[in-house]
Amino acid sequence: MSALYGFGLGVVSTNAQGATLDTFYPRPLTHVNGDVAGVLEGVAGKLDVAQLKALANALARAGDTGLADLATKLIDTDQPVVATPLTDNAPPASVEEAYLKLHLISHRLVKPHQTDISGLFGLLPNVAWTDQGPVDLQELSQRQLDARLKGSVLEVSSVDKFPKMTNYVVPTGVRIAHTARVRLGAYLGEGTTVMHEGFINFNAGTEGPGMIEGRISAGVWVGEGSDLGGGCSTMGTLSGGGNIVISVGKECLIGANAGLGIPLGDRCTIEAGLFVTAGTKVSVLDEQGDTIETVSARALAGRADLLFRRHSSTGTVQCLTNKSAVELNEMLHANN
């Protein structure tokens, strides 16, 4: 029985030379098997009208009416339509495959680190993201002039390899106060709230529910019920974290303007303004407040029920048992 790791029917944006700038997959699939996988076997590359009609009919017979309806709708577009199969969980080899992997994460079909995105950053073109879609940077000045000659302005919201997630998918049950601060390839679990200063990078995200007022860097995973305070930071693999996967456990609190450079266990707290990196020297206290030992913070990675604080007089970073877990306001995270 044939099977596919992933598949997407997408609408492609190109530059004047026909090179792909982005691909929009309204209904990506993962772990496709059975009759549907048999229909999709060998379906790849740009599809014309006849191929789309034949695919829609075959999918309907195989029982996937959702993908069949999408194929039917794509018949009427003037944009190129591409079929992108992923036979296995291998690194992406094209812009189309890279965008499909990012869609799989943001559609909650796979979690961060569950799909291989090695080399993805180098595949994606750096483009101008505008109110008319992606524009090749070499073509931007002419497009801006064309708009002015028609009495309008081409709005350029960013120049980046990654677009904002909400132009491709808005997951159910979330709130995002400033959509430009969540990149495509972010995973937002049900009940996640991202406030104006919150940021979530690609291949990173939240189990949900959670309150995000700080930065979730690439590769970082935040557990259920955790709160990232205003201006706080997590070190990802693109920001000095190396190959160590930084994560935040369940029911944790990272205080305002604090930071994290180690994996954090469940029900942990880092006080406001304190940045804990792997090499931070930490005095471990017993219940009487006496120092048991002094260790590098990396020795405490992944341990639950810890409170990190800085002594007000000596400045020494201390660690003691966290007496209370974070409890999120359920009303704030019922994002229906």
Which is it for strands 226-228 and 192-194: parallel, antiparallel or unpaired? unpaired
Per-residue pLDDT tens listing for the chain (336 residues) = 478 999 999 999 999 999 999 999 999 999 999 999 999 999 999 999 999 999 999 999 999 999 999 999 999 999 999 999 999 999 999 999 999 999 999 999 999 999 999 999 999 999 999 999 999 999 999 999 999 999 999 999 999 999 999 999 999 999 999 999 999 999 999 999 999 999 999 999 999 999 999 999 999 999 999 999 999 999 876 544 456 789 999 999 999 999 999 999 999 999 999 999 999 999 999 888 889 999 999 999 999 999 999 998 899 999 998 765 555 455 455 666
The C-alpha atoms of residue 244 and residue 274 are separated, in whole angstroms, by 20
Instruction: Enter the pTM of the model.
Output: 0.92
Q: Where in the chain is the domain with CATH 2.160.10.10?
A: 165-333
Annotation: CATH topology of 3-123:
Alpha-Beta Plaits (3.30.70)
Q: What is the CA radius of gyration of the chain?
A: 23
Q: Where in the chain is the domain with CATH 3.30.70.2010?
A: 3-123
- Determine the CATH number of domain 165-333: 2.160.10.10
Cα 40 to chain centroid distance, Å, stands at 27
Annotation: CATH topology of 128-160:
Wheat Germ Agglutinin (Isolectin 2); domain 1 (3.30.60)
Q: Where in the chain is the domain with CATH 3.30.60.70?
A: 128-160
Q: Which residues are the active-site residues?
A: 213
